[in-house]
Chain A
Amino acid sequence: MTKRALASIAIAVALSAGLPNISWADTIKIANVIELSGAGATVGSNWRDALKLAFEEINAAGGILGEQVEVTDYDTQTDPTTSRAMVQKAIDDGAYVIMGPIYSGSVKVNMMVAQQNGVPQLTGAEAPFITDMGNPYIFRTSFGAQQSMPKLVKYLTEEMKVKSVAVAWVNDDFGKGGRDSFVAELEKNGIAVNADVSSEVGQADFAADVIKLKSSNADAIFAYLHEEESARLLKEIRKQGVTQPIFGETTLMNQKVVDLAGEAVNGVRGHVGLSANAPIPGIEEFAKKFEAKYSYKPDHNAIKAYMGAYVVKYVTTKNGKVDRQAFADALHGLTITPADEPGILMETSWDDKGEVNRESFLVEVKDGKQTVVTTLPKL
């Protein structure tokens, strides 16, 4: 009996030793740690598809430094704990750079693991705290909310002469994060918050929310919700005949909201960091390629991932070697222009905290089309 037990131990140990080991053979390993199931599956799929598109292009053009790029997807299930485990796994598998995730709650937890192991991470998250934690390996692919909200509030105060705002937001870490940075910015500028209305993910009926917004008598309404809920809110706003102007950030003016809410979106204005409708040749061309390949329209997360892939290519080529530390060092304080690397789409700079800086847009939805009112310069 003891012999058999010993044998079974030996077999178990031997089997488990055969698990994959780190190898730096002739491919560059990119770990795509991203939301592929759960609440974030939609944004995660956009990101994944665009990333795949970009690296297929890069590989077809000869790869990076003559080596092919191998992208592995790791599904975070939109769960911070799982995302942390996936980053650990990606590092065990020998990832050169980690791409993603998008949900700030996940990034908050897993960026520490990447930092401990010195692996650069290009995230799609927008919550302010991410670049405030002194992590030298984290880089954004789009604005943090602490950069986009001031641009919007500046517009509200200077152009629209708004004195009070009613805020509608979705009560999860996306909505709460946006709401908190927006309200902080309002307070800084002495603008009153007349109503602060939270709603649930998947909420169907916005009658109560709109009544509160309407009766607040604020000069303007600011809405920060996911696409489907944004559309339902806007429809209810029109239904109840609310007259105040409506503002938002990126998602509210999204094409999907327009598709669903139709006329109700017309007249909505807001700030957009990246937009598939931006009048930039590179972005227009990307949107066309993406739609041809996947037969749906890319959102801003797709653009982030596509640019991110080319950041990896550009920086690695510039360094002349596949080295994590050199990558992180080189990207701090770097500016990449489309002339240097067409895949970057727009001129973009990174500061010493990994924060992104580029042009952004003030848009208005007119006749179901997002139109750019002004292009806001780099800060």
Chain B
Amino acid sequence: MLAKRIIPCLDVKDGQTVKGTNFLQLRQAGDPVELGKIYSSQGADELVFLDITASHEGRKTFTDMVQKVAAEIDIPFTVGGGISELADVERMLSAGADKISINSAALRRPELIDEIVSHFGSQVCVVAIDAQQDEKGTWTCYLNGGRIPTERGLFEWAKEVNDRGAGEILFTSMNHDGVKQGFACDALSQLASFLTIPVIASGGAGRMEDFRDVFAQGHADAALAASVFHFGQISIPELKEYLRKEKINIRI
């Protein structure tokens, strides 16, 4: 049986990892390659590196980092941030990334998903969706790291992403992100009920129980978190032991 995956996410700016709380404040947390190696040896199932640099020089630094990760780390990894055309995908895959994740670029031009899938296969294409739920309960997708609301609803956009052939959806609930009160299990469970591709849950990890719930109740295929791992609030070996005791199928 396929194991549920635990994925630490590293936000990278100018070659250093950072983590935002509610997408705004940033705190320093170390060298991404070293951090990635530690997570891999602790039993992380995959890694995600997000480039949050805007400058051209920053992009070059990020590509160099991707090459280093590919050379030194022996588990799969996804890279995202600033990927807006096929040439960016090609550059990241040639640097050694296993998968790429796109977000705003897909919302602006959904055909990009089809292009990536036909050139490189569905397994490399992760579509990240940042969405926020309003007080009426409606989920809306956001652009540019959660700064700009769109007209698209979470569920209809997720369905389109699925049908265009993406390999996975990385769903971040902006309501839950940085709050550490658990993942958006209701929305996740609803996504799992109609999608035919795996969903990576992101936003809200605070306690080990949150991971159990996101798998058992949210039916997520993978759970992504950043600060709880970076600041040592949860250790991956402990988390995996705990999940196995809770009867979640996990790789140890």
**Do they bind each other?**
no
Interface residues, chain A, CB within 8 Å of chain B?
A: none
